C-alpha cells in the first residue's frame, strides 16, 4: 500500500472501531490489524491514538438542515434530527464515541469546539433579543441533554416514545429558550 492508501485504510478502520466501541475499547493494535498494517504505521501516520481519534471522528454533525427554515420551528427540527433513524443515528454514534473519550482534554476541547461551531454560534445568529448568546448556548445544552438520554443512557421512555411526539414536546421546550420565554 502507498502512504495515502495506508493512511486511508487506517482511518477507515479507526472510524468503524471508534463508532462501534468508543475510544477506550479501540486500540492502535486492533485498528492496525483491521487495516492490515503494522501498529507502528498507525503511529507514523497519526502520532497517537488520541490524534487518530480526533482526525477520524466527524463531529461536525448535520445541524445545518435543522437550522434552515422558519425560526419558529427550529426547536422541533433540532429534536427531530437527533431522533432521526438515518442521519441522527450516525450523529448519535459519533457523539457517543466522543463522550466516551472526554477524559482526554484534547477530545473534550474538540467536542466543545464542534458544538459551538455547528450549533451554538449558528443559533446565536437566529436568536433575537436579550441574552442571545446565553440562550443559544442553553439550547446547545438542551440538545446535548437529549443526545445524552438517547445515545448514552438509551432511556427507554424517550427512545420508546413516538418520535413526532417527542419532537413536539421537547421541541417546544427548546423553542421557548430560543424565543426567550
pTM of the prediction? 0.71
Backbone angles phi, psi at 150, to 5 degrees: -90, -50
Outline which parts of the chain fall under CATH 1.10.357.10.
Answer: 63-179
pLDDT tens per residue, range 10-60: 999 998 888 777 777 889 999 999 999 999 999 999 988 888 887 887 656
pLDDT digits (tens, 9 = 90+) for 95-141: 777 777 777 888 788 778 888 888 899 999 888 889 999 999 999 99
22: nearest Cα among 89, 82, 95: 95
CATH class of 3-56: mainly alpha
Domain with CATH 1.10.10.60 in the chain: 3-56
Q: How far apart are CA 3 and CA 9, in angstroms?
A: 10
Question: Smallest Cα–Cα separation from 52: which of 19, 11, 82?
Answer: 11
What CATH superfamily classification does 63-179 receive?
Tetracycline Repressor, domain 2 (1.10.357.10)
Amino acid at each position: 500500500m502507498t502512504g495515502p492508501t495506508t493512511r486511508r485504510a487506517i482511518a477507515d478502520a479507526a472510524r468503524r472501531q471508534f463508532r462501534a466501541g468508543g475510544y477506550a475499547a479501540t486500540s492502535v493494535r486492533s485498528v492496525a490489524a483491521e487495516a492490515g498494517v503494522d501498529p507502528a504505521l498507525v503511529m507514523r501516520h497519526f502520532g497517537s491514538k488520541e490524534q487518530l481519534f480526533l482526525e477520524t471522528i466527524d463531529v461536525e454533525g448535520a445541524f445545518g438542515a435543522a437550522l434552515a427554515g422558519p425560526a419558529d420551528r427550529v426547536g422541533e427540527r433540532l429534536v427531530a434530527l437527533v431522533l432521526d433513524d438515518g442521519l441522527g443515528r450516525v450523529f448519535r454514534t459519533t457523539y457517543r464515541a466522543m463522550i466516551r473519550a472526554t477524559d482526554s482534554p484534547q477530545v473534550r476541547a474538540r467536542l466543545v469546539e464542534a458544538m459551538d461551531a455547528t450549533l451554538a454560534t449558528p443559533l446565536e445568529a437566529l436568536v433575537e433579543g436579550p441574552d442571545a448568546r446565553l440562550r443559544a448556548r442553553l439550547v446547545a445544552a438542551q440538545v446535548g441533554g437529549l443526545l445524552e438520554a438517547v445515545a448514552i443512557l438509551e432511556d427507554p421512555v424517550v427512545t420508546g416514545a413516538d418520535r413526532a411526539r417527542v419532537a413536539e414536546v421537547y421541541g417546544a421546550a427548546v423553542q421557548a429558550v430560543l424565543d426567550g420565554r
